[in-house]
Amino acid sequence: MTGEFDDPAALTATQVLAAFRAGRLTAVAYAQALLDRCRDLAWLNAFIGGTSEALLLEAREADNRRRRGRSAGILDGLPIVIKDNIDVAGWATTAGTPGLEEHVPDTTAPVAAALFEAGALMLGKTNMHELAYGITSNNGTFGPVRNPYGVRRIAGGSSGGTGTAVAARMVAAGLGTDTGGSVRIPAALCGIAGLRPTTHRYSQAGIVPISHSRDTAGPMAQGVADIALLDGVITGESAPLETIRLKDLRLGVPRRSFFEAIEPEVLTIVEALFQRLQQAGVVLVEADPEGMRELLRDLGRAVAFHETPPDIVKYLAASGAPTTFDRIVADLGSPDVAAIFAEIIQNPVSEALYRAARDDRMPRLRSLFQDYFARHRVAAIIFPATALTASAIGEDEQVMLCGRPVSTFAAFLRNTEPATLAGLPGIVLPAGRSPAEGLPVGVELDGPPGSDRRLLAIAAAIEPFLAPLPPPTPSPAQLR
């Protein structure tokens, strides 16, 4: 039953579930529409290992349950995708690296299990930057993920497969992971929404790690309602979002900290949003978290580089993976990731430097942000999620930013990393498209630790003021 919808695959998750409940769409018809789109767009390389062969059977069972009035849960019949560093029983967890291609866990990560227990169906595992250690999703073994708004451009990373799958309407929603910006960067570059929850609000079990002090899974979808839906299922905080009165909303605009060296077309789109928000009554407070950049200097590297080897070893033991850390490193397929791991092993971060970073500078950074939010009476800060739009696939080392060559990693990570080290929740929303090439631009909101549901409510309140993005129309001809 799809006659009421020109393209069921274009519906949001909340729209799909409402259509299921109203009897206007069957889970089988919707699943078939997604599978057809995944087949037609397979060349975007969003998936590792293809899509589920059992999806139509599981969708039929969901339809039968609904007819009998025995729904499995709030997500019953909704296909989702899972980034391939998150365990799903019976599916390989490769983390985008050759050394884990044979790793098929027996248990599902709690963050994914919560969605399946609510009735979600597994569509497939998504491609990613190898071991999540990068921001382009140009994977040396499984190939690059292509951005559906510019197929020669990166999807962002490391959750690029989920970003592309959602943006290209191959699926309505899915999970990524975020250590330095790996949910929010692909959300910004692919024109979708992505949430990094407060650190440790979601379980980290069953996820191939980088850093237990910084890692988290996060939902990715077309808009705030779908993000809030998945977040509520994962955490149990499923009460409706509060209503935010824009005339009572104060947002911080940290210009010195987050607005330097921003691509002009990105800045133009964000500034236009600010004007619309101010006209609606939002108070924008121009103030910076003083001393933030000094505290951040080499902080992320010290924590992540020290924690990565022991954290991966613990994951391998807990998940029963048939390999070792040394064998994984020996088989790395992406030159940029191999170079990072060579640095981690050959120049290890000392215990003293790590302790100073984790036990002194990270707490000071958290305190700095807590003081900022309280002193300026702002509910969140708002800024460009990335300094530039999606760069060309293959520009793994350097990109041009404001006329200067800069590190690709640093350019895209600069504005997303502070939240990861301060433990803040952050959500990215699509704000518009660049006039020259039609590439998405994202805006980010970061809030105080633990304010996730209020941050989602704020995002929902400002979402109507964002410039809408039309669905992408990728074609293989664009590769010629």
Active site residue 158: yes
β-strand pairing of 138-139 with 146-147: unpaired
441, 266 in Cβ contact below 8 A? yes
**Phi first, then psi: what are they for 375, rounded to 5°?**
-65, -35
Of the candidates 52, 137, 158, 213, the residue annotated as catalytic is 158
DSSP 463: G
- Report how far residue 198's alpha carbon sits from residue 192's, in angstroms, rounded to the nearest whole number: 20
Neighbouring CB atoms inside 10 A of 94's CB total 26
Of the candidates 52, 182, 211, 334, the residue annotated as catalytic is 182
Beta strands in 190-291 (DSSP E): 193-196, 216-221, 250-253, 283-286
Of the candidates 83, 125, 159, 334, the residue annotated as catalytic is 83
- Report how far residue 130's alpha carbon sits from residue 331's, in angstroms, rounded to the nearest whole number: 11
- Report how far residue 315's alpha carbon sits from residue 321's, in angstroms, rounded to the nearest whole number: 8
Where does residue 298 fall: left (phi above 0), alpha (psi -120 to 50 degrees), or beta otherwise?
A: left
Q: Which residues, 6+ apart, have CB-to-CB distance to 375 below 8 Å?
A: none
- Report how far residue 222's alpha carbon sits from residue 324's, in angstroms, rounded to the nearest whole number: 38
The DSSP string of 366-392 is HHHHHHHHHHHT-SEEEEESSSSSPPB
- Is residue 472 helix, strand or coil? coil
Active site residue 314: no
Active site residue 367: no
Measured in Å, how far apart are the chain's first and last C-alpha atoms? 37
Work out the angle at residue 226's Cα, subtended by the Cα atoms of residues 225 and 227, and round it to the nearest 5 degrees: 95
How far from the centroid of its chain's Cα atoms is residue 439's Cα? 18
Helix, strand and coil in the chain, % to nearest 5: 45, 15, 40
- Is residue 474 helix, strand or coil? coil
Residue pointed to by tokens 């975020």: 178
Residues assigned a catalytic role: 83, 158, 182
